């Protein structure tokens, strides 16, 4: 086989093994979800090697979707870090074989302290499965590795089961996008949901004119303002806007009288405006709905105070 055929076979094999997880889900999954939902503590995840790496990702997904969680290396835990685990915490132990010594060594302490324990392994008769409250099977019939040595399907199955757990908890908690944004303030979602129009709007050298302004000066204002438009005002009241598109259309349709036109002849009335306290998601929806790139910004008295453009949203 060539490299493309090998890749296709790997993806096919992993997809088949992941699909088989549907047949492995049972009441223990629901019980695990309910245990976490009713817990007053954190979810602590531990696993060795590749299981530990996948555990870190599951931990990150849980933490970002409303379930406080952190990863604890089993060897470090056994040498002093067990103090991080409080009695109200739920501990998820991951081992594909279910016989990983470093992971099994944690069980006596967890039982003595009274922690609720969850486990993921590929063997529901393993020592790990038998000694935890709720076992989630991640059994696969084969690995994508032709030598059946490198964890491939098994690690993917673990990751998918972790995602299933996180998403189930997320929906049961009615976790919404604004909650997600609080944990991701540096991302584009956090920016749109947490920041307001006032945080990003342009306020300096705002392009504006009166109804009587001649077309030559209107064009100059559009150029100088760098917003693609000029706002037509009367006593701080917004009467309309003249965009560069309005200018082009007027040049085509009124070529002979173009230079005698004023802002009043060119402007579009009732332009889209939004309050400066609005979230970026609101202005983004207006732009998408009306297929525009700029929105005027007003204060609580409907006074024109700025312009927000698509690129200001950072999305």
Q: Phi and psi of 193, rounded to 5°?
A: -90, -25
Residues 102, 55, 94: CA angle, nearest 5 degrees:
45
Predicted local confidence at residue 62, as pLDDT: 92
Residue 183 has pLDDT above 70, yes or no: no
Of residues 188 and 311, more confidence is placed in 311
Predicted local confidence at residue 178, as pLDDT: 56
DSSP 31-83: HHHHHHHT-SS-EEEEESHHHHHHHHHHHHHHHHTT--EEE--HHHHHTTGGG
Q: Would you place residue 296 in the very low, low, confident or very high pLDDT band (cuts 50, 70, 90)?
A: very high
Using DSSP's 3-state secondary structure scheme, residue 144 falls into coil
pLDDT tens digits for range 58-103? 999 998 888 889 999 999 988 878 989 999 999 999 999 999 999 9
The helix or strand, by DSSP H or E, that contains position 214, with its residue range, turns out to be none
Cα separation of 60 and 4, whole Å? 32
pTM here is 0.65
Cα separation of 272 and 233, whole Å? 14
Using DSSP's 3-state secondary structure scheme, residue 298 falls into strand
Mean pLDDT over the full length of the chain? 89
The domains of the chain, with CATH numbers, are: 3-175 (3.40.50.10490), 195-313 (3.10.580.10)
Residue 177 has pLDDT above 70, yes or no: no
Residue 184 has pLDDT above 70, yes or no: no
pLDDT tens digits for range 212-257? 999 999 999 888 888 889 999 988 789 999 998 889 999 988 888 9
> Residue 265's closest CA among 254, 273, 279, 281?
254
pLDDT tens digits for range 123-138? 999 999 999 999 999 9
Cα separation of 35 and 31, whole Å? 6
Residue 189 has pLDDT above 60, yes or no: no
Classify burial at 50, counting beta carbons within 10 Å of its beta carbon; exposed 0-12, middle 13-18, buried 19 or more.
middle
pLDDT tens digits for range 5-25? 999 999 999 999 999 999 999
The encoded tokens of residue 46 equal: 């531990």
Q: Would you place residue 173 in the very low, low, confident or very high pLDDT band (cuts 50, 70, 90)?
A: confident
Cβ pair 148, 154 in contact under 8 A: no
- The Cα-based distances of 252 to 86, 219, 240, 247, 259 in angstroms read 74, 15, 21, 9, 12
Which segments of the chain does DSSP mark as H helices, in order?
Answer: 3-19, 27-37, 49-64, 74-78, 101-104, 107-113, 127-130, 153-172, 177-182, 188-194, 197-200, 215-225, 244-253, 263-266, 280-290
> Residue 6's closest CA among 140, 142, 145?
145
What's the mean pLDDT in 156-167?
96
> Residue 160's closest CA among 181, 184, 136?
136
pLDDT tens digits for range 200-216? 888 888 889 999 999 99
Using DSSP's 3-state secondary structure scheme, residue 307 falls into strand
Predicted local confidence at residue 119, as pLDDT: 97
Using DSSP's 3-state secondary structure scheme, residue 171 falls into helix
Residue found under tokens 């094999």:
13
Q: Would you place residue 192 in the very low, low, confident or very high pLDDT band (cuts 50, 70, 90)?
A: low
Cβ pair 280, 196 in contact under 8 A: yes
pLDDT tens digits for range 24-57? 999 999 999 999 999 999 999 999 999 999 999 9
């Amino acid at each position: 086989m060539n490299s493309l055929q090998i890749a296709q076979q790997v993806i096919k094999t992993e997809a088949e093994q992941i699909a088989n997880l549907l047949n492995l889900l049972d009441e223990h999954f629901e019980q695990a979800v309910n245990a976490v939902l009713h817990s007053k503590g954190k979810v602590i995840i531990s696993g060795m090697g590749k299981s530990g790496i996948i555990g870190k990702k599951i931990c990150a997904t849980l933490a970002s979707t409303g379930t406080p969680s952190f990863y604890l290396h089993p060897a470090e835990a056994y040498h002093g870090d067990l103090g991080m685990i409080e009695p109200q915490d739920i501990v998820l132990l991951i081992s594909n074989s279910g016989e990983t010594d470093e992971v099994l060594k944690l069980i006596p302490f967890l039982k003595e302290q009274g922690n609720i324990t969850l486990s993921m392994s590929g063997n529901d008769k393993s020592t790990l499965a038998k000694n935890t409250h709720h076992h989630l099977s991640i059994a696969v019939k084969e690995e994508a590795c032709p030598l059946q040595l490198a964890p491939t399907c098994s690690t993917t199955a673990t990751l998918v089961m972790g995602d299933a757990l996180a998403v189930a908890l997320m929906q049961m908690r009615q976790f919404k996008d604004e909650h997600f944004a609080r944990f991701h303030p540096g991302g584009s979602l956090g920016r749109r949901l947490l920041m307001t129009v006032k945080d990003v709007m342009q306020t300096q050298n705002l392009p504006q004119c009166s109804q009587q302004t001649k077309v030559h000066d209107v064009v100059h204002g559009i150029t100088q303002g760098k917003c693609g438009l000029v706002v037509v005002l009367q006593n701080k009241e917004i009467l309309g806007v003249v965009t560069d598109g309005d200018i082009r259309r007027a040049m085509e349709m009124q070529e002979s009288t173009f230079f005698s036109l004023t802002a009043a002849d060119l402007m579009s009335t009732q332009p889209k405006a939004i309050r400066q306290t609005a979230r970026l998601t609101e202005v983004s929806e207006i732009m998408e709905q009306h297929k525009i790139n700029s929105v005027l910004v007003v204060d609580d008295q409907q006074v024109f105070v700025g312009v927000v453009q698509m690129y200001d949203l950072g999305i």
